[in-house]
Structure 1
Amino acid sequence: MAEGTKPKGGRSAQLERTGLRHGWTTGACATAATTAAYTALLTGEFPDPVTVTLPKGQRPAFALAAEELADGQAMAAVVKDAGDDPDVTHGALVRATVRRGGPGTGVVFRAGPGVGTVTRPGLPLPVGEPAINPVPRQMMREHIAEVARRHGGSADVEIEISVDGGEEIARSTWNPRLGILGGLSILGTTGIVVPYSCSAWIDSIRRGVDVARAAGRTHVAGCTGSTSEKVAVAVHGLPEDALLDMGDFAGAVLKYLRRHPVPRLTIAGGFAKLSKLAAGHLDLHSSRSQVDKGFLAGLARQGGADDALAVAVAGANTGLEAVQLCAAHGVPLGDLVAEAARATALGVLREAPVAVDVICIDRAGTIVGQVEPGRAYG
């Protein structure tokens, strides 16, 4: 998550102290449903609950929400429980239908209703493949092999994963922008959803960079919201696959671009959020960083503010009030914040070949501060 101050023991220890309940990824749910379905296909009985082994050795048990056994195939379903995380897939019904495959075919994955298909390069799966990520695929392969060993079956099967209502749910995710069409992705590297870790959002940022690079984009924009995204498009004419829904996770964008550079990055966002980046914060969420009015007053002094104006800035109710006070006195606080935010970004990028410009806006989308690559105020 965020850079900077953390309780001793890290995020996991903090969550344990708060009593928030962990949940299970769609990949874990799909693995549980697959295991139950293939067991029934071989034995005629569905294990309920069904226990699976996650990548780090945990062995959760999942109750079945639906089951159906027919000639040559079996279907089992599990309700996705995201714990106390505000996950859009919480409560979704994840289904696995398992059919016998031809000798030597191995495990073949299919996208059923509500599961997307990859249509653009740059993702960890080839174009045309169902959006079932590599770790969930490996989990399902391992459990198929174990069920086959235990019950005398073959590991040559076809697995169709579907999610009830998944196509509608996917409209609230990054999938359409990433070129995953028709539904959700089956995700998860550990099988566990850590509440408020926002790992899925950060992973989507990374996949967005991958897709932009695969499309040959040389300029991407990390935007804090839809209004700043519209401004970035208006200023730079960027296509949809060059837009990164950065949200509060400036650090995630910058660290991934440090390892996987794109020649130019625009950072666009509300003045208050970008003033936090200017002050060195990489997580811009209100619960984890605050607008530092004293810092803004210091920047205002650098821009020519007298003592009275600096005191007024330090006592402003909001960041935007501070920038408005300065604008009335000819002090370009917005530009100074943009410049400082760019300096923070370049510090995280280190020597990566990424030129950075910054656009600060107000709530209406009006640009109140801006700095171009290689330019500084004054």
Structure 2
Amino acid sequence: MTETAPLRRGWTTGACATAATRAAVEGLWTGHVPEAVTIRLPRGETPRFEIVDAAVGDGWAEAGVVKDAGDDPDVTHGATVRVRVRASAGGVTFRAGEGVGIVTKPGLPVAVGEPAINPVPRAMMDEAVAEAASLLGATPDVEITVSIPGGAEIAQRTWNPRLGIEGGLSILGTTGIVRPFSCAAWIASIHRGVDVARAAGLTHVAGCTGATSERVVQALHGLPDHAMLDMGDFAGGMLKYLARHPVPRVTVGGGVGKLAKLAQGAMDLHSRRSQADLAGLSDWAGRDLTGCNTVLEAVSLAPDLPARIAEEARARVLRIIDAEVDVVVIDRAGTVLAHAR
């Protein structure tokens, strides 16, 4: 049997921006930008980054790092994270350059009007400046402008527009490391969506398993974009956060197959991590469905089954959160099969 090679990890935009910052401040203070730099990540790792697009001018220096996301399907893989530093006064300050967004809605870990550079990357860049200043005998007072050429277009494929981050991408990462196909980044985005909705005073949010169910639910309830939480398969990640950060009304929408798994107690709805129990569905339908290959096939034999799935899914949600809850079950074409409320 052939062994599968381990997936290759990558680096966050925050780690790339930190490496570019380290190279750029050296260029600012010595007149020469190094070809590569080593930085320290929050958990002690010390990766080395090659530098591209180096430049030095009158009172400024610039360096770039090409983001390598490893084997993760990250939309920013291959993008260049560039940092320009200028001498300033009063410590380290941050600006958004081309392709880096500005926060326009409250609820995120960065204040409204600030560049979308999250707290951990800011701390990493601050530390890189301080370390270089200590080695080179310089004063660590610099203005850091982070840019990602093409970032505004890439951002349209992220949650940033929905979260109120306008004009580009965010500089992210709590560890500096991208772990391939990690659930953590998706769940963190769900949490930020809840935070933004609460800060905006919304009383109704919706989490859906995919684009079709989201479209149906949003139209059904007339919800704004920032009320829509990108739940995907992570029902548990959304519901557990809503239990700690409540919103008065919650809608859960999805295809009949995924919501059957939620109805039967699964909190991760991915096909690799949970399966619908056809024997249990048979009990609900009052007929044997164990010979079916899919839940949709079972529904074709038991037309009343979606209503039971919706009710059972709603009951599962109510075990976790204290809110007004409704559940919308659809087929692949987007037809509503059942609505429990």
TM over 0.5: yes
In structure 2, the partner of 1:13 is: none
SS of 1:314 mapped into structure 2: coil
In structure 2, the partner of 1:344 is: 316
Amino acid at match of 2:261: K
TM superposition shift of 1:246: 0.9
Asked if 1:242 corresponds to 2:227, the answer is yes
SS of 1:248 mapped into structure 2: coil
Amino acid at match of 1:85: D
Asked if 1:322 corresponds to 2:307, the answer is no
CA distance in 2, matches of 1:141, 1:236: 45
Asked if 1:223 corresponds to 2:208, the answer is yes
In structure 2, the partner of 1:64 is: 51
SS of 1:35 mapped into structure 2: helix
Give runs of aligned pairs for residues 7-46 of structure 1, distance below 5 A.
Answer: 19-46=6-33
Which of 114, 117, 139 aligns to 2:124? It is 139
TM superposition shift of 1:198: 3.0
1:62-115 per-position Cα deviation (integer Å, ceiling 9, x unaligned): 01122111111111000111111111111110001011002xx21110000010
Whether contact under 8 Å (2:35, 2:52) holds in the other structure is no
**Comparing 290-299 and 147-156, the one that deviates more:** 290-299
Asked if 1:203 corresponds to 2:179, the answer is no
TM superposition shift of 1:230: 1.7
1:300-345 per-position Cα deviation (integer Å, ceiling 9, x unaligned): 1xxxx2xxxx22x221232112112111xxxx21111112212222
1:203-255 per-position Cα deviation (integer Å, ceiling 9, x unaligned): 11111101100110111000111211121122212111111111111111111
Q: How many residues align?
A: 338
CA distance in 1, matches of 2:214, 2:268: 18
Amino acid at match of 2:151: G
Amino acid at match of 1:75: E
CA distance in 2, matches of 1:295, 1:38: 63
Whether contact under 8 Å (1:333, 1:369) holds in the other structure is no
Give runs of aligned pairs for residues 117-196 of structure 1, distance below 5 A.
Answer: 117-196=102-181
CA distance in 2, matches of 1:195, 1:354: 35
Which of 62, 77, 83 aligns to 2:64? It is 77
CA distance in 2, matches of 1:37, 1:358: 52
Which of 363, 368, 373 aligns to 2:332? It is 363
Amino acid at match of 1:226: A
Structure 1 stretches of 4+ moved >6 Å: none
CA distance in 1, matches of 2:247, 2:29: 50
Q: Which runs of 5+ in 1 are unaligned?
A: 1-16, 373-378
CA distance in 2, matches of 1:169, 1:267: 28
CA distance in 2, matches of 1:333, 1:248: 21
1:247-270 per-position Cα deviation (integer Å, ceiling 9, x unaligned): 111111111101111011100000
Q: Which runs of 5+ in 2 are unaligned?
A: none
| TM-score (normalised: structure 2) | 0.96
**What is the Cα-based RMSD across aligned positions, in Å?**
1.3
Which of 81, 88, 97 aligns to 2:84? It is 97
Whether contact under 8 Å (1:118, 1:131) holds in the other structure is yes
SS of 2:320 mapped into structure 1: helix
